[in-house]
Structure formats: structure tokens, C-alpha cells
Structure 1
Amino acid sequence: MAFSTLLLIDDHPLFRRGLAGMFSSSGDFEVVGEASSGREGIELARRLLPSVILLDLHMPGLSGLQVLDEIKQLELGCRVIALTAALDRTELLEALHLGVDGYALKEMDPDALLAYVRQCSTGSVVLNDQMVSLLSDPALQSRAPMAASEVELTVREAQTLALIARGMSNKLIAREFGISDGTVKIYVKSLLRKLKLRSRLELAAWVYLSAQPAPTGNPYAADAESRHAG
């Protein structure tokens, strides 16, 4: 995996410094900045242009969702992974709508969180079983941005969507189809445009929210190979 720069945005100094130590010692990440508030985090993101941002969703002042929205509107090219203390379906759906690239519980085992962030940093899409359960709730089906019957996808776009929902990165999808990464990016951009969505993670969630046939097992548990792909 390529070396990634990391920005931490969290108002709890003890938790933030613990994350900084863990990621710095992993050998895969360089922690380039720490912010204790949403506004400071946005300014650091603009200046440092990190590869990955870990963002606490529950902070005083600007909320994590407001920070996420501003960062995504700036189009900085960084992946934003939201950290939350508790699962909330409304919050999850809003974060997905705003283009979040990952969504993790603060109570995760440190090694599991590190592995999750590694996967997200490569473009893989990963949600744990609890989050999949939230997205699979029948009560949420009406919240789909667009019904499956309203969308006309090409065969290759449908195949790409299915592999995204299984947690595969562009590199692995390209390998699966025997095509270039650039061609896969074209399919992904077309899917985002047709479905009126903002991120790969929201594409994967759409599979559940639109009542699309789900792949066998947890489709968000990325294939073992993707855990080591760059």
C-alpha cells in the first residue's frame, strides 16, 4: 500500500493523541496534523492536503457533518473517515449523502480500526455488520436516493456496482475485468452521475437502500486480497 498522510480532527486530546501514536507507529501513515475543532480541521485540510482525514462526528461548534460537507465541497481529493461513539441511522445516511469515505465506531479494536483505515485509504469500501444491518432495515428502503427501476445501467456499470458493494477497489475491479484503472474510474463516475450520488461508499449503500440483490454474505467485508492492494 502507498504511504498515506493523515489528519486527525477530534476535540478529545487523549483520544486524538492515542490515534496519532497508533497510526504513526504503523509504518503506513504519517500524521501530518491534529485539530481540536472543526474549523481548525478545515483550515489544516486546506493547507496540508492529507490523503486521509479521521473526523470525529460529535464536536462542539461545527458538527462533524458540517465539517465533512465543507471539506467535500472544497474538493481536496482526500478521503474522509467519520468516527462516531454510537451508531445512528440518520447520521449514517446523512454522512453517506455528504460523501463520507468511511464510517467507524470509536469503540473498535485498535487493530481493527487500523486495518479499516488502511482499506479505506486504498479506495476499498468497508462497513461492518452493524452498519450493514442499519442499511438493510426495511424501514429505510424509502430513503433510497433513486429507485432501482428508475436507473438504466449498462452491463459493465452494473457489474462494477456489484464489485464496489463487495468492497473492491478500482485496482481490483480493473484486474477482475482485465481493463485499466482509468476505465474503471469512468464507470464509477458514470454510476455516481446516474444515481445522483457523491461517493463510492454511498454507491455501496445504494445497493441496500434500493433493494438491489445483495451479494452473498457481508458485501462490505472486502476480499482478503484487497486488504493488501494499493
Structure 2
Amino acid sequence: MTMSDIIKVMLIDDHALFRKGVGQMISADPHFEVVGEAASGQEGLDLAQKLLPDMVLIDLNMKGMNGLETLRRFKATTLNARYIVLTVSDAEDDLLEALRAGADGYLLKDMEPEDLCANLLKATTGVTVLQDSLTEVLKHALLEPTVRKTTSDAALTEREHEILECLADGMNNKTIARKLGISDTTVKVHIKNLLRKLNLTSRLEAAVWKHQNTPKG
């Protein structure tokens, strides 16, 4: 692919409004043409065989087949495309799993529109593109040996602490999202991350853990 070619892009994300918004941003750049959108991994896989895009943008957190599984399946096809993960998750595990699965880039949904297009353009040259803020995450992952964390809430962010409190109060994702002024998807990402950090497997375990580890006043 030469830089003068129009780059055909396909979007896979289960949020219609986000697809539309990103599609408009990318289409405004003369280097790109958005040739298709899909609301699920399977729909994206099917559509790509017909549209043959040069680049596929994939969300990580989707209902049904998630972004990582979608990416793995794409890599098993004969489609010659660049695969960029575009997500809200800046978790180390998600970044490493995506790179291991063959992602050509890992970008966050809160990046500036002009930065998004610049990174996508760079990815067409064969460079693996990473959101600037994630280079430190990757460096930490490479320098730190992988060890099983002890069950402690010391590693939780302030937001994860807030969500843990909400789980202990029995709130569902929608209620937590409303209370904290964030999206359901963001709540799910934070819950996934705090469960990983605490070595727990479910929100119920997290609620029980919080009750057991809260000092009695």
C-alpha cells in the first residue's frame, strides 16, 4: 500500500453512535474511506470478506464475541489488513493480550481526532502504533516479572475503589454508571480490572471481599 492510495477502513464496535462519530472523523481525512461498519465481531468477520478493507478498527468490550477473539479470528483469515484495537481500556493485561493476538495498534477512545488519523496513517506503513500514555504501561509490563499479586486493594485506582464500594452496596452496572457519571462500558472495564488486581472471579466475590476487608467502626 502506498501513501497515495485511499485506505479502506472498517469499524467494529457495538455502539452505533460511536461508530458514526469515528466514521465521520476518519472520513474527513482525505487518506481514508470508511467502507463498512459492524456491530459485532462475527458481523465484522463476515463483512470483511466482502469489503476487503485495508484496515479494521476493533473495540475490545463487545457483547458476544469480544474484540480479542475477533482479532484472533481475523488473523486466522487470508485478509491482508492492519488491525487496530480502539478501546476505553488502558489495562496492562488488555494491551499485552491484544499485542499477543496480533494487533497492529492499540489506541484509546478518548484520544484527539487528529491524533487518531495520524496514528492510523502511521499504521499503514507497517509501524505498530500505541497511544502515548500506554508506552509506560508496556515498559512496566516488560520490566516487571509476571508474579501472582497478593490479594490487596493497594493497587486499585481511586475510581476502582469507588466501584468496589458500589459493588459492596449491591449496585448493578447501570446504577453505578449513573452514580459516577460514566458509561456502562467503562464500569465493566473497571470491574474487570479490579477483579484481576484482587485475584477474584466475580462481582459477588468482590462485594464479599470488600465487606470482609472493611475495618469495623
Out of 38-47 and 124-133, give the one that drifted further.
124-133
> Which residue is 2:135 aligned to?
132
Give 5+ residue unaligned stretches, structure 1. Answer: 144-230
> Which residue is 2:207 aligned to?
none
> Which residue is 2:48 aligned to?
45
Superposition TM-score, scaled by structure 1 size? 0.59
Give 5+ residue unaligned stretches, structure 2. Answer: 147-217
Q: Answer yes or no: is 1:34 the counterpart of 2:31.
A: no
What is the SS of the residue equivalent to 1:26? Answer: coil
Whether the 8 Å CA contact 1:45–1:71 is kept in 2: the answer is no
What is the SS of the residue equivalent to 1:74? Answer: coil
Question: Which among 10, 22, 39 is matched to residue 25 of structure 2?
Answer: 22
Whether the 8 Å CA contact 2:92–2:141 is kept in 1: the answer is no
Q: Answer yes or no: is 1:58 the counterpart of 2:57.
A: no
Question: Which among 92, 96, 108 is matched to residue 93 of structure 1?
Answer: 96
Aligned residues: 143
How many angstroms does 1:141 deviate by? 4.3
Whether the 8 Å CA contact 2:108–2:131 is kept in 1: the answer is no
List structure 1 runs of 4+ shifted beyond 4 angstroms: 138-141
RMSD of equivalent CA atoms = 1.5
Whether the 8 Å CA contact 1:51–1:79 is kept in 2: the answer is yes
* Residue-by-residue CA offset, 1:142-172 (whole Å, 9 max, x unaligned): 46xxxxxxxxxxxxxxxxxxxxxxxxxxxxx
For 1:5 and 1:95, how far apart are their aligned partners in 2? Answer: 22
Q: Give the residue type in structure 1 aligned to 2:103.
A: V
How many angstroms does 1:45 deviate by? 1.4
**Paired residues for 1:1-230 under 5 Å:** 1=3, 2-137=5-140, 141-142=144-145
> Which residue is 1:152 aligned to?
none
Structure 1's 139 and 52: CA in aligned 2 closer, same or farther, altered over 3 A?
closer
For 1:142 and 1:5, how far apart are their aligned partners in 2? Answer: 40
For 2:85 and 2:19, how far apart are their aligned partners in 1? Answer: 13
> Which residue is 2:150 aligned to?
none
Structure 1's 48 and 139: CA in aligned 2 closer, same or farther, altered over 3 A?
closer
For 2:98 and 2:141, how far apart are their aligned partners in 1? Answer: 19
What is the SS of the residue equivalent to 1:70? Answer: helix
> Which residue is 1:218 aligned to?
none
Identity across matched positions, percent: 45
Out of 43-52 and 132-141, give the one that drifted further.
132-141
How many angstroms does 1:139 deviate by? 6.9
Superposition TM-score, scaled by structure 2 size? 0.62
The structure with more helix, counted as a fraction of residues: 1
User: Does 1 or 2 have the higher relative contact order (CA < 8 Å, sep 6+)?
Assistant: 1
Structure 1's 62 and 142: CA in aligned 2 closer, same or farther, altered over 3 A?
same
Structure 1's 139 and 4: CA in aligned 2 closer, same or farther, altered over 3 A?
closer
Q: Who wins on radius of gyration, i.e. which is larger? A: 2
* Residue-by-residue CA offset, 1:118-160 (whole Å, 9 max, x unaligned): 11122123323321111111675446xxxxxxxxxxxxxxxxx
